[in-house]
Amino acid sequence: MFPMDVPHGACLRRDAVRLIGEKRVRSAIADGTFATPWPGVVVDPARAAEPLTVVAAGLLAGGPEARASGPTAAFLHGLDAVDPTPVDLLVPYGSTRRTGRGLVVHNGRDLVDDTTEIHGLPALCLGRVLSDVLCSRRHQDALALVDQALARLPPEQREAFRATLHDRLRRRPDPRGTRVGARLLDLATGLAESPAESWMLWRIVDLGFPVPEVNHSMNDVQGRPRWRLDLSWPALRIAVEYDGRLAHLDRTELDGMRVQALRGLGWIVIVVDVDDLRSTLRVERELHEAFVARGLDPRGRTAGALRPRPHRERLVG
C-alpha cells in the first residue's frame, strides 16, 4: 500500500522523504511500493495508470513553473476527445525543462495571466488551451475539442464564447496557424455527438465539399422530430451517417432501418465507420457520385481546404 495520503497519488521524492524518511522511500522504490515515472517523482503504483495521476506526476516532473497545456489541460477542463497523454506542459522561456519520455514540453508566455487551478493542479485556462490547439494540433482533434467545449454551453452562449476565441487568435504573438485555426473555429457547432463526428466533418470539408449541416432534424408528417442526421445537405437530400460500431451496438438494427427508410424517401445515405477515419477514399468517391447525381459537378473543389498554405499568413479582421 502507498504509505502516504498525497493529492492524486503523486508527490515529489523529496516530499516523500520529508514525510516518511529516506530509508523508507528507498525501500518502497526497491520493492515496488512506489512507482517512479520520472526522476524525483513517486506515485502510488495502484493509480499509476489513472490519467489524473499521470498528469499530476508530469506536472511535478515539470517543476513549479510548469502548467498543463494542450490536450492534457483540455482533459483537466473535462474535454476528453483527445488522449491527455503524453503530458503536455508549458513552461516560461528560459526554462531548462526539456521534452522527454512521456512529457512534451513547450515554451510560452503569459503563463500567469492564463493560469487556473483544476483539481488542485495548475493548468492553462480553457480559452488559452483551445486557441493554442486550434493553431498547433491536428486539425480534427482541435475541432473535436472545440465542439465538446461548445456543447457544454447553453446554445445562447456559444457565439459569445466563439467570439472570445477569435479574439485570442487575433492577439496571438505567433501568427502561425491562426488562419486555419479561425476556419476550424467557425466550423465547430457544439452539435456533434461524438469526437468521431467532428473528425468526419473535418475530413469532408477538408476534401473541398460544401460544409454540411450537423445533426439536421427530420420531422414526421405531424411535425414531430423523428431523426437527426449526423451530417447532411438537406436541400440535396444527401446524408453521411457515422456508425460507431461499439457505441451503436445496441442500435445496429434500428440504424439500418433508418438508413433504409431515408433511402426510401429519396435520400442518398453514405454510411461511414472508424475505418473511414483512417482513409477517406471511399467516402470521397461516394460523396462525389452523390453530388453528381444531384446535378452538381464537384470536380472544382479544392482538397486540403483546411490545411496550412505554403507561406505563413497572419490572421486579419
Q: Which of 172-176, 237-241, 246-250 has the highest mean pLDDT?
A: 237-241
Number of separate helices (H) and strands (E) present in the chain? 12, 11
pLDDT in tens, 61-83: 999 999 999 999 999 999 999 99
Helices (H), 32-138: 51-62, 70-76, 126-136
Instruction: Give the residue among 180, 185, 119 at the shortest CA–CA distance from 149.
Output: 185
Provide the 3-class DSSP secondary structure of residue 290. helix
Residues paired with 228 in a beta bridge: 217
Contact of 251 with 259, CB cutoff 8 Å: no
Contact of 74 with 97, CB cutoff 8 Å: no
Q: What pLDDT score was predicted for residue 111?
A: 83
Residues 233-262 have a mean pLDDT of 73
Q: What pLDDT score was predicted for residue 227?
A: 82
Contact of 20 with 3, CB cutoff 8 Å: yes
Nine-digit cell at 267?
A: 435520400
Contact of 165 with 131, CB cutoff 8 Å: yes
For residue 222, the surrounding DSSP H or E stretch is: none
Q: Report cis status (omega within 30 of 0) of the bond before 175.
A: no
Residues 6+ apart with CB under 8 A from 229: 213, 215, 216, 218, 239, 241, 262
Is this model's pTM higher than 0.85 or not?
A: yes
Mean pLDDT of the chain: 89
pLDDT in tens, 287-301: 999 999 999 987 778
Residues 126-147 have a mean pLDDT of 96
pLDDT in tens, 14-38: 999 999 999 999 999 999 999 999 9
Provide the 3-class DSSP secondary structure of residue 123. strand
Confidence bin at 5 (pLDDT 50/70/90)? confident
